[in-house]
Structure 1
Amino acid sequence: MLNQLPKRGIWTDQPASKWEDALVSGNGSHGVMVLGDPVHDTIIGNHCRLYLPQGNSYDLPNMAPHLEETRKIIREQGYKQAIHFYYERAKELGYQGLTMSDPSHPGFHLHIETDHQNYTDYKRSINYQTGELSVSYQVNEQPYLRKTFVSQDCNQIIYYLSPGCYTIKLEDYQHPKIKQSSIVDQQTIHTHFDYCYSEAGYDVFIDVITEGAKLLSHTVGFEVNSENPVLIRMDITPYKEKTDRKVIRKPLSYSEDYSTLFAKHVAIHQEMFERVELTLATDQERQQPIWSLVEKAKQQRQITPVLLEKMYDAGRYMYICSAGELTPNLQGIWTGTFEPAWSGDFTFDTNVELSIAAALSSNLLEGLEGFFRLIKELMPGFRENAQKYYGARGVMAAIHSSNSGKHVHWNQVWPLHLWTCGAGWLAHWYYQYYRFTGDKLFLQHEVVPFLEDIVLFYNDFLMEDPDGTYRFTPSYSAENGAADNATQDVAVAKEVLTNLRVAYQILGYPEAKVKRCQDMLGKMPSYQVNEDGALKEWLTPDKGENYNHRHFSHLYPVFQSREFNNETDPAMWQAARTAFDKRLEAWLLNEEADTSSTHGRMHSALCATQFHMPELIDDIFRLLIDHNCFYSSLMMSHYNEQEIFNVDGNGALPQVVHEMLADFSNGRLTLLGALPPSLPKGEIKGICLPNQIIVHRLTWDTEAQQLKLQIVSKIDQEVKLYFPLYPEVEENNQRVTLQQNKQVSFVMNLLK
């Protein structure tokens, strides 16, 4: 009956003192947070669609008529004056200034109270492998157990209590922007939430399945005294309009017990989790309490294999829990507050992209369905952004979105309306989905239309210099400053056009369409190198560099699109490496800089995998540990010292691990390309690579100087093996023919 400590998961001997440190689980629609206090416990129910309308206007000012004047001011006076002009015209048209998205919020707080003050042998845990949360303790040698999961089968939050006496109470939010009303029918609580500033809302159903339940007199809930386990089933049903509310009725029966419900759930969750497996530790090491593992890593001044394995598992667990109906927002699928930082929304200038970074390589394709669904739902706003701000057809993504895709998050200090490459960056995952799966139906019906919409925007937005070269004006390098031709703008446009051209060729579209893409690519500005030998962040001579910054936007050709490498363009590759080194010196490794951004560290690590810098990856992992950038669940914080619950780092970390072990781009399979010294041996199974390559098993032992590899390709192709850290490997730079669905095995000596 006592808590079985998870091998793939975490445990600690202290209850959570704040919602951020709660145990977490989810199924892509519902989320749950459990604080785990034996005396005053709290269960927080979450749902991916709960965003609280604030009553703000999302009407966009029609700024298209002022675009030419704005461009003229940029040319003659500069960006500061142009941004001021633009902002003043927008206010004259009723623009209210920088506006946050409607914030993510919790669905309910359910409180469980007991008289168990004198408890002992306390443990709480998350089993990443099964999605089950457990809390165990003893009172007078009597064991008590609480278990929770969010069912992948019946789409409910399921909660189990040992036999005993409990007070179960639903919190009355009393929020000024929500109307809450409850009715109790026998042992079912139905609570209805109406939003004050929209026709939307949601219903909460809580069924307390037990004998001996008595209705509380002054609050919504029950007094329970049961000699049998108590089962609580909870669900949240959102709606956009009152006419969308589902039929409200009491369930006919609940005959299934906890074990039966859990068995159905775990069959789904565990299969997803076990598609990929990283092995760096023993079972004995894995079963140590999480904060002991963290303390040992701090003492050793580097990540330990067992802690990295758990952080890797936590990242994939976050994605399984948070992706499905939609995609993870800044906080995944969890929140315990009505005022989350940055609204806890979908932030598209780096955070969403990092949160889904490992979805494809982790073989969690169903999670990306939620990403694609979200983009479709936001598309009307994206179209209006393009039309109202730039008089353009096609689409322009907002930087912040929740209930709307309209872009109202900008002002003079943060001129985010000048960042026009967001839709193109989002489209990266559309085309990559095709590369990983070979799904031509998806390529034709989803990828091509989205890419065409983005190109349609470029057709109307881009200007031409006298020599015929395109000019991106206005242009912005998020969130580091404005100047014409931000390098990321150019890099994203080149990726969009290249992918569309190749898609046309694969699908047999008319040659004229292929040629149009090629002609536009030929007009793109060339990348530039500054006096330091670094790739410039803005491709214009009058804009200098700001190396001390958390964003790595201008390195998009390296960490995201893989436009070039040391073989395809050695000069530009070296310039990009120099730009990266400058960023490291001024920002990441500068003790006087504001380096506490977890997303910046993750982008640093993704660049380090490409530049084959294993020691730097160890440094980045160490920074996360030394500065306490995660909670006991191993969900991460945006800033140092557990400040602001954010999961983009969790989403990116498995991708860092995958890329440092096995990576594929430009026809080259890179093996152990950035393996840090802290990981002398290990094994990974099941990771997916572009071009439909699957790494069935990769085992390495640097002390024994041996690597074993088993890979399979779903298509016939030829790849080149590359060992940048082991140049004397016999197979280095050899070409290997992969035949469709035939496994190929290698045993290689790791010689430097």
Structure 2
Amino acid sequence: MAEHLKLWYDKPSEIWEDALPIGNGRIGGMVYGGTAHEIIKLNEDTLWSGCPKDKNNPEAFKYMEQARKAVMEGDIDKAQELTDRHMLGHWTESYLPFGNLYLDFELPGEVLQYRRELDLKSALAATQFCCGETVYKREVFVSKPAEVMVIHLAASVKNQLNVTISADSLLKHLVHDKDYNLILSGKAPFDCMPSYYQVEDPILYDDESCTETFEGCIHIQYTDGQISLIDRKLSIKNAAEAVVLVSLATSFTSYNQIPDGNPAEKNREYLKKLEGKTYQELLTDHRKDYNSLFNRMELNLGEGRDDIPTDKRILEFSKGTLDKGLYELFFQFNRYLLIAGSRPGTQAANLQGIWNQELRAPWSSNYTININTQMNYWLSETCNLSECTEPLIDFIKHLSENGEKTAKLHHNCSGWVSHHNSDIWAHTAPVGPRTPEEADCTGYSYWPMSSGWLCRHLWEHYLFTGDISFLKETALPILLKACRFYLDFLTEDADGHLVTGLSISPENSYKKDGNVYHLDKMPAMDIGILRELFTTTLQAVKRAELKNNIADEISEALDKLAYYRIGSGGQLLEYSREYEEVEVDHRHSSHLYCLYPSQEISPVKTPELAKACRVSLINRGSVGTGWGQAWKICLWARLLEGDRCLTMLKMIMRPAGTSDYNFSDGSGIYKNMFDAHPPFQIDGNFGAAAGIAEMFVQSEPGSISLLPALPAEFSDGYIKGLKCRGNITIDIWFKNHELEYALLSSEQEQTVDVMLQKKKQTVRLDSNTPVKICFSK
């Protein structure tokens, strides 16, 4: 059974998008699987440009009321001019590539019987081939317990392993040797502008600035050959085996501190702990740690075509070849990526997780918090990887602290706020160029709602874990501060409803009097976020048994909030009025936030609004970016339409090209199953996994729905280890498209309603005692 959980190929990768990703949450690698020349691209999750900088605009608030008044009076031209010229901060910093590791081998002849693979059961990338009479094998993994990359090199014939190891970086760097270790050290730039911002000097170094320094240490843990250092290269000769450790570190210490740590000392500490460790011990520790997370879930939908290389398998699948096992491989690969890219104590997964090869990566490989960062964690709770949410929770804490200053300077409000972009330094201001005359950013930048959206992840983490201490000590203070901001920020419109008054529907636009605009007094997404934030905060206050004066104020504001509107075509309106749409099939489905990820609207609770959401979703169409289509899987699942979910999933899983970027309607997956925006963005991987989970089970506190959106193609199979709200674990078996039975287990005593379509059973769950559920036909 383990064989079908491998990505494998019959030729080396020639480009980054085809290489195989490995990681431990902090260190990332992309393994090309070359024969005579192997490349491993290196990343470390704290290596960013810049340092803590105050990028707030102290003049912004002077213009906010003018801009808001203009919106309320319908003068959108004036409002957008004010926001672009006077109310923006500066660009975020960029996530940077660490370096490149090269292994050059002396091979005795022609390469035959080549294979490279990524084993999802052990989080290990392997390359194997024959050359002459020698079988060469390499294994590479990144260990969380050891905090290093481990490379095992082996030749079946004595003295036939001969390799030279070197390294370099796109950043300013030096390579030298010390104590038979190869050292790659360097410094990050002070500024690294986004790739979409054209400027003469986009990357600026300042030798006197306190930006990050970094160091990589390449250490030979074991070999039976001879080691030498020549011309800043490490050489192993006449060996049959070698174990190479790669330790990476930066001077980063905290989001709000000058990065003055000592990366060399960090590497020494990592390696010192591993003295005397054998390869087998390192591998055993790695597998034990990784499998404690990965093995929590199983999915089986039928036979797969494990006998052909993964790239060919993806191509054949796109042509209609039946391959149910490919769904499983894709689902589990996406879970693998979250384990490899987000672990307790690391940074939150960014636009590319932890894998980036470019100095000016697409969108700076930063945190885009108007959908993408949030989507990165849609699968973490439902797909039984709750611990992997912890870096996001830490990130939200940092934003909530920096966001207090932004709330005051940009909006003259208490509480905290963040906008659409952030970075490792917890940037919270709306982004823009340093020269206001160049600004044309309102359509994506001026959006003070991400803080409200991020708060839902705190509430969800509590619902899935039942951790009341987390709710009281971590989540609730942040929720209350977010509510405080919006209570101060909201204003009454002419009808007496509370509205944001100055906001956008992320990255979208509308036409009014023949002109294109972005700003609106109360987009539907603002309604959804605020209704959810206020409602869940009130619930949190009640569960925490907290007496808080703000609760009454939240309740009053909730009653006065503007509500959703249905348009002339039966669609849920995206804006406060029915405007002509500029892009009907826009990649964002922001106005459907209320359907997913929120649970405010559903076909059962709010049928008329659900019907309006359905019309809007049909209008959006099926084209879009990878992550846009992943969102649509989740939306169709909430509308209980499994076949439409599957249509979107198949579109995501079609083969993507690698030659061009397509920022609106690309999608697909690369040969290594990375999601294509294009370019690569990891959120599409994570969103697709969340959507698959939604097909099999949906839950609310006290309620579980089984097989709510099962596609007709998924006739027989099982899924094990899904998580439901209430900290309930569920296994589901189905046959001939009908439920056979489900097993529910809970870590606490509780009663839950279990639904199968219109049937319902009320089930009593005792602590850690599985209960079998069947429904009569």
1:291-302 correspondence runs (5 A): 291-300=311-320
Q: What residue is the counterpart of 2:774 in the other structure? A: 747
* Amino acid paired to 2:62: P
CA displacement at 1:423 relative to structure 2: 0.7
Please give the residue correspondences for 1:190-209 in structure 2 after superposition, counting only pairs within 5 Å: 190-197=183-190, 198-199=209-210, 200-209=212-221
TM-score, normalised via structure 1 length: 0.90
Task: State the Cα distance separating 1:509 from its structure 2 match.
Answer: 1.9
Counterpart residue number, 2:205: none
- Secondary structure of the 1:686 match is strand
Matched, 1:560 2:593: no
Aligned counterpart for 1:132 among listed residues 124, 128, 140 = 124
Q: Once the two structures are superposed, what CA deviation does each residue of 1:147-194 show, in whole Å capped at 9, x if it has no partner?
A: 001012111000011143434343333x4xx43223312321223212
1:44-63, aligned counterparts within 5 Å?
44-53=41-50, 58-63=55-60
Give 1:417 deviation, angstroms: 3.7
2:416 is matched with 395
Partner SS state of residue 452, structure 2? helix
Q: Percent identity?
A: 22
Distance in 2, Cα, partners of 1:380 & 1:166: 53
Mapping 1:82-481, distance limit 5 Å: 82-90=79-87, 99=91, 101-116=92-107, 118-163=110-155, 164-173=160-169, 175=170, 178-197=171-190, 198-199=209-210, 200-209=212-221, 210=223, 212-213=225-226, 215-218=228-231, 220-240=232-252, 241=258, 243-245=260-262, 248=265, 249=268, 254-282=275-303, 285-300=305-320, 304-324=323-343, 325-404=346-425, 405-410=427-432, 411-481=439-509
Going from structure 1 to structure 2, the CA distance change for 1:542 and 1:148 (only over 3 Å counts) comes to: closer
Determine the C-alpha separation between the residues in 2 that align with 1:579 and 1:59.
36
Kindly provide the amino acid, as one letter, of the partner of residue 134 in structure 2: Q
State the shift of 1:717 in Å: 4.1
Q: CA deviation at 1:346?
A: 1.3
Aligned equivalent of 1:707, options 740, 757, 777:
740
Cα distance in structure 2, aligned partners of 1:316 and 1:408: 32
Q: Using the TM superposition, give the Cα deviation of residue 517 of structure 1 relative to its aligned residue in structure 2, in angstroms.
A: 2.2
CA contact (8 A) 2:63 2:87 kept: no
Q: Is the CA contact (8 Å cut-off) linking 1:392 and 1:457 kept in structure 2?
A: yes
Q: Deviations over 1:717-749 (max 9, x none)?
A: 44433334xx6xxxx144444445442212335
- On the 8 A contact 2:56/2:409 being kept in 1, the answer is no
Contact 1:323 1:368 in 2 (8 A): yes
Output the amino acid matched with 1:497: F
Deviations 1:115-155 (A, max 9, x none): 43620100000011111110000001310001001012111
Range with greater deviation from structure 2 (675-684 or 707-716): 707-716
Q: Of 18, 23, 40, which aligns to 2:37?
A: 40
Q: CA deviation at 1:65?
A: 1.2
8 Å contact 1:28–1:333 — kept in the other structure? yes
Q: Secondary structure at the match of 1:670?
A: strand
Query: Which residue identity does 1:562 align to in structure 2?
Result: Q
Paired residue type of 1:352: T
The 8 Å contact of residues 216 and 247 in structure 2, kept in 1 or not, is answered as yes
2:515 aligned residue: none
Cα distance between partner residues in 2 of 1:379 and 1:68: 24
Distance 1:495 1:59, change over 3 A: closer
CA distance in 2, matches of 1:670, 1:5: 30
Residues of 2 paired with 1:563 and 1:391: CA distance?
A: 30
- Residue 513 of structure 2 aligns with which residue? none
Does the 8 A contact of 1:469 with 1:525 survive in 2?
yes
Equivalent pair of 1:661/1:673 in contact (CA under 8 Å): yes
Instruction: Tell me if the contact between 1:26 and 1:322 (Cα under 8 Å) persists in the aligned partners.
Output: yes
Q: What is the CA-CA distance between 1:650 and the residue it aligns to?
A: 1.3
Aligned length: 714
CA distance in 2, matches of 1:600, 1:542: 22
Match of 1:236, SS state, is strand
Separation in 2 of the partners of 1:308 and 1:657? 9
Supply the distance in 2 between the matched residues of 1:8 and 1:717 (Cα, whole angstroms).
35
Deviations 1:674-715 (A, max 9, x none): 1112211111111111122210x2111116x45211112344
CA deviation string 1:440-488 (max 9, x = no partner): 1110111111111111111221111355320211011011132110111
Please say which of residues 249-258 and 76-85 is displaced more in the overlay. 249-258
Question: Cα offset for 1:612?
Answer: 1.2
CA distance in 2, matches of 1:603, 1:521: 27
Deviation at 1:10, TM superposition (A): 0.9
Distance 2:579 2:648 in 1: 33
The alignment partner of 2:717 has SS state of strand
Determine helix, strand or coil for the equivalent of 1:748: coil
1:722 counterpart residue number: 755
Say whether the 8 Å CA contact 1:557–1:563 is kept in structure 2. yes
Is the alpha carbon distance of 1:413 and 1:63 closer, same or farther for their aligned partners in structure 2, counting shifts above 3 Å? closer
Q: Secondary structure at the match of 1:485?
A: coil
The code of the aligned residue for 2:670 comes to: Y
Report how far residue 389 of structure 1 moved: 1.8
Residues 584, 619 of structure 2: 8 Å contact kept: yes
1:276-302: CA deviations, max 9, x gaps?
Answer: 1112245x744542124223312326x
Label 1:408 to 1:75 Cα distance change in 2 as closer, same or farther (>3 A).
closer
- Looking at structure 2, the residues matched to 638 and 414 of structure 1 have their Cα atoms a distance apart, in angstroms, of 22
Structure 1: 5+ residue stretches without partners: 589-594
Question: What residue identity is the alignment partner of 2:249?
Answer: T
| Contact kept in structure 1, 2:120 and 2:336, CA below 8 Å | yes
In 1: Cα distance, 2:715 partner to 2:536 partner: 38
| Structure 1 partner of 2:565 | 528
Q: Give the Cα–Cα distance (whole angstroms) in 1 for the partners of residues 576 and 168 of structure 2.
A: 55
Whole-Å separation in 1 of the counterparts to 2:498 and 2:35? 64
RMSD, aligned α-carbons:
2.5
**Counterpart AA for 1:744:** V
How far apart in 1 are the matches of 2:363 and 2:58?
Answer: 23
Q: Decide whether the 8 Å contact of 1:23 with 1:133 is kept in 2.
A: yes
Note the C-alpha offset of 1:577.
1.9
> C-alpha separation between the residues in 2 aligned to 1:238 and 1:291?
36
Cα distance in 2 for residues equivalent to 1:690 and 1:666: 6
CA positional deviation for 1:630: 1.7
For 1:269, the aligned partner's letter is Y
Q: Cα distance 1:511–1:448, how it changes in 2: closer, same or farther (>3 A)? A: closer
Deviations, residues 654-679 of structure 1 (Å, cap 9, x unaligned):
21121101111364422111111221
Give the direction of change, closer, same or farther, for the CA distance of 1:293–1:172 in structure 2 (3 Å limit).
Answer: closer
Map Cα deviations across residues 523-542 of structure 1 (whole Å, 9 max, x no partner): 11111111111111113356
1:592 corresponds in structure 2 to: none
State the match for 1:617 in structure 2.
645
CA shift for structure 1 position 213: 4.3
Shift of 1:624: 2.1
**One-letter code of the match for 1:713?**
S
Counterpart CA distance in 2 for 1:626 and 1:222 is: 42
Determine helix, strand or coil for the equivalent of 1:664: strand
